[in-house]
A = this chain, B = another copy of it.
Amino acid sequence: MTGMIDDKSPQPPPSGRRGPAEHERRGQILAAADEHFRHYGYKKTTVADLAKAIGLSTAYVYKFFESKQAIGEAVCGRCLGSIEAELRAIAGEPKPAADRLRRIYKTLGKRSAELFFNDRKLHDIVQAAVEENWQAPMTHKAALQDIVRQVVGDGRDAGEFERKTPLDETCRAIIQTMLPFWHPLILERTLDDLDDNTTAVATLVLRGLSA
């Protein structure tokens, strides 16, 4: 997933440089990829298509991403990252931990459903990610673990949540109960019941957490 650019030592920009800096090129490639994947699908898009769309050579694109999958991973990572940012903001609010956790379930389900299913063409990137065991979902899961740990920790510190169960075990359980709300292949089958499902699970989990 890391392009060659990440392996280079930082260098001062050459004076008289024309055109965008390398990190901007990277951003351009990802923006073109995001658009192409949504309009044409991941499988039908080639690296050459992306290069052409932004007026670069294919070889130049490969300077930044070693494969189409690396581009797919980065696009996935950006989409999932925007959900994580929203959940982190909720986790940081000065409200009872129970309220924050309930909103995290709701928001995770809602935003994941929007991400995967508002653009039907994104379905094939999800399929590729599942079949090829991409890194992006693993990174997402790790981010969710951090967010859950923060809120559960706050709730324990504030005396809202019980402390007898080891924190690791509690967080592990919560992460499992969140899986149906961000795993695309499960979400796809349960969209109609999503709101009832997140409400029901959050209620049961919060009863289980309460001091």
A interface residues, Cβ below 8 angstroms from B: 130, 133, 162, 165, 169-170, 172-174, 176-177, 179-180, 183, 185-186, 189, 193, 196-197, 199-201, 203-209
Contact = CB atoms under 8 A, between A and B. Distances in A.
Contacts of A189: 133
A200 B173 contact: yes
B203 A173 contact: yes
A207 to B, nearest CB: 4
Contact of A201 (B176, B183, B185): B176
Nearest to A131: B127
A204 B197 contact: no
A118 B189 CA distance: 27
Contacts of A162: 207
A100 B200 CA distance: 21
A45 B91 CA distance: 51
Contacts of A207: 162, 165, 207-209
A186 B179 contact: yes
Contacts of A185: 130, 183, 185
A185 B206 CA distance: 27
A200 B169 contact: yes
A193 B199 CA distance: 27
B205 A176 contact: no
A143 B134 CA distance: 33
A183 B162 CA distance: 30
Among A165, A183, A196, A207, the most chain B Cβ lie within 10 Å of the Cβ of A207
Contacts of A133: 189
A86 to B, nearest CB: 22
Contact of A172 (B165, B172, B186, B196): B196
A17 to B, nearest CB: 45
